[in-house]
Amino acid sequence: MIYLDTVFLSTKIFVILNYNFMSKKKALITGISGQDGAYLAKFLLNKGYEVVGGERQNASGSNWRLKDLDIEDKVKIVPFELLEDSNINDVIKSGKFNEIYNLAAQSFVGSSYKSPILTSNINGMGVTRILEAVRQFSVKTKVYQASTSEMFGNNSDKGKQSEETDFHPVSPYAVSKLYAHWMINIYREAYNIFCCSGILFNHESPLRGKEFVTKKIVTDLAKVKYNIIPSLKLGNIYSQRDWGYSLDYVEAMWKMLQQKKPDDFVISSGMTYSVKEFINKAAKHYDFDLIWKGKGLNEIAIDKNSKKTIVKISSQFFRPTEVDYLYGNSSKAHKILKWKPKTSFDDLISMMCQNELKKFS
Ligand code: NDP
Ligand code: GDP
């Protein structure tokens, strides 16, 4: 009797263990130290995934974003360098991943003019390296590629941009991403690999890199308020962007890989605002009441109460070529993925400003 009980119990344990093993999906997130990598890791952990994060050797170091989200000890970090074929092959061959989210990139448009070759190699060739590794060693693994609205560039249609809109990239960054975007299409068609591109419009958060305009605005306005710097200096404040919240957008990435068929999707908020509108809304959180004066490089914003110059324009921050207008149409994602953004533009700005202000309280 005792023997039978033991057999029954061990079979039960085996079944439970085996079930857990079978049911737990394993994902590789490249660029885990970045904004989206951190939010996606948290999102997938909440879904019960085993999360492996790819990180390059000279990574920014502290993994402050994972710490901020309190998940640093919940993800396994492996060395992952998009410039190195053998490294990518090893990770993908041995990892047996159900899903790979390729979020790693030289992601800043501004730097892509200074380092066009490096940008092309990381963002373009890096994706081919991943796809080749999947094709050779792990053909059942699903791949998500971080494409971008920058690929639409200066398409002269002034309507909203959807999956049907022609691409007209105008920066080395956008060209490198378009190369990767087409490679995803080719590997899907030619080799039947489940790979998708999410054409994501700008998305921000308190974890956004400091070189991007929204983060720069909210941090520098706080520094101006507390007299750490005299003013916020910017380039083109008339470009328009469709800004959303990163945490909302990582859900769409995951949903793309849960579909029956691989496909590409535009992910956007469906609203567009100028950089200047972002500044005006953000300034209110710092009790600045801005009045704009002058034109071009002489344009400034003055605080009505203190008469202090809060914003100045500097030629240093203009780009050699600019995307003037981004405005997304995500109706395909609404329909097929049942995805919609949850966070409004005003709430996003409020969240980012509060996060900066609390550093001074
Ligand atoms: P981040 O700049 O915050 O993160 C980029 C990540 O890529 C970092 O972890 C960085 O590592 C890593 N990385 C850079 N170079 C390499 C390399 N050679 N090998 C391996 N890893 C590397 O970007 P986001 O999280 O904001 O964006 C995620 C992805 O989505 C990017 O591909 C971006 O281009 C794309 N995208 C982003 C949009 C946005 O608005 N945020 C809009 C559309 C697309 P390290 O910490 O070492 O620098
Ligand atoms: P992008 O859309 O991926 O290039 O995201 P960014 O946040 O870098 O830039 C958004 C817009 O803000 C672009 O049109 C920039 O030209 C404009 N911009 C104006 N001043 C600045 C600045 O000082 N820094 C950055 N990053 N962008 C600026």
| Tens digit of each residue's pLDDT (9 = 90 or more) over 118-138 | 999 999 999 999 999 999 999
Ligand in closest contact with the CA of 243: 1
Beta-strand ranges (E) seen in the chain are 26-30, 50-55, 76-79, 99-102, 142-148, 195-200, 203-204, 232-234, 240-241, 244-245, 265-267, 273-274, 290-293, 300-303, 309-313
With a 6 Å cutoff on the Cβ, whether 38 touches ligand 1 is no
How far apart are alpha carbons 250 and 51 in whole angstroms?
14
CA of 213 to the centre of ligand 2 (A): 5
The amino acid present at 18, given as its one-letter code, is: N
Query: Which residue of 112, 170, 177, 213 sits with most ligand 2 atoms within 8 Å of its CB, as the best mutation to test the pocket?
Result: 213
- At 138 the pLDDT is 98
How far apart are alpha carbons 143 and 133 in whole angstroms?
11
- At 20 the pLDDT is 47
- Strand 50-55 relative to strand 26-30: parallel, antiparallel, unpaired? parallel
- At 237 the pLDDT is 98
**Scanning the structure block, which residue is given the tokens 């079930």?**
19
With a 6 Å cutoff on the Cβ, whether 36 touches ligand 1 is yes
Which is more confident, 43 or 58? 43
From 49, 144, 173, 245, the catalytic residue: 173
Known active-site residue 128:
no
From 55, 81, 99, 150, the catalytic residue: 150
With a 6 Å cutoff on the Cβ, whether 242 touches ligand 1 is no
Ligand in closest contact with the CA of 78: 1
Query: Which residue of 58, 103, 348 sits with most ligand 1 atoms within 8 Å of its CB, as the best mutation to test the pocket?
Result: 103
Secondary structure of residue 204 in the 3-state scheme: strand
What confidence tens digit (pLDDT) does each residue in 217-272 have?
999 999 999 999 999 999 999 999 999 999 999 999 999 999 999 999 999 999 99
> Which residue's alpha carbon is nearest to atom 1 within ligand 1?
34
Residue 61: pLDDT over 90: no
What confidence tens digit (pLDDT) does each residue in 305-347 have?
999 999 999 999 999 999 999 999 999 999 999 999 999 999 9
pLDDT band at residue 4 under the 50/70/90 scheme: very low
CA of 271 to the centre of ligand 1 (A): 24
Asked whether the beta carbons of 104 and 58 are under 8 A apart, the reply is no
**The two three-digit tokens of residue 195, written as one number:** 């790979």
**The two three-digit tokens of residue 26, written as one number:** 């394993």
Mean pLDDT, rounded, for 15-31: 73
Residue 141: pLDDT over 80: yes
Per-residue 3-state assignment (H helix, E strand, C coil) for 80-100: CCCCCHHHHHHHHHHHCCCEE
Over the chain, what is the mean pLDDT? 94
Known active-site residue 286:
no
Asked whether the beta carbons of 176 and 212 are under 8 A apart, the reply is no
